[in-house]
Amino acid sequence: QQQVKQSPQSLIVQKGGISIINCAYENTAFDYFPWYQQFPGKGPALLIAIRPDVSEKKEGRFTISFNKSAKQFSLHIMDSQPGDSATYFCAAAIPGAGSYQLTFGKGTKLSVIP
């Protein structure tokens, strides 16, 4: 049973546009929600993360919006650039449980076209 559902599977955005990737989770015990960016041939790199005690976190062009009641969170990439073309994964974890296990969404392949 997939505990983190991510959509869309792929996304094409014009340069300068806004990229939006959505995730939904089922386990209410999750309390740490990171986003990872992965380029071909590379490992996932942490982009931004949020905890459920805040509804939004912004770092540069990247913003996470979090809706605890709906059990949903999303990544917004403002002013998308061709260099942002990569696969993005949302994830969730329960660090307080003593296990640092990340449960990942299936990923979104983002293509930013000039």
Partner 1 sequence: KAGVTQTPRYLIKTRGQQVTLSCSPISGHRSVSWYQQTPGQGLQFLFEYFSETQRNKGNFPGRFSGRQFSNSRSEMNVSTLELGDSALYLCASSYRGPTPSGNTIYFGEGSWLTVV
| Residues at the contact surface with partner 1, assessed by CB under 8 A | 32, 34, 36, 41-46, 49, 51, 89, 91, 93, 95, 98-107
- Closest distance of CB 99 from partner 1, Å: 4
By C-beta, is 66 or 80 nearer to partner 1? Answer: 66
- Closest distance of CB 91 from partner 1, Å: 8
Q: Which residues contact residue 114 at a Cβ distance below 8 angstroms, ignoring those fewer than 6 apart?
A: 15, 82
Nearest to 57 by CA among 81, 33, 85: 33
CA dist., res. 7 & res. 88, Å (int): 10
By C-beta, is 17 or 85 nearer to partner 1? Answer: 85
- Closest distance of CB 98 from partner 1, Å: 7
By C-beta, is 36 or 62 nearer to partner 1? Answer: 36
Q: Go through 72-98 and write b for each residue having 16 or more CB atoms within 10 A of its CB, e for each that does not.
A: ebbbbbeebeeebbbbbbbbbbbeeee
- Closest distance of CB 62 from partner 1, Å: 16
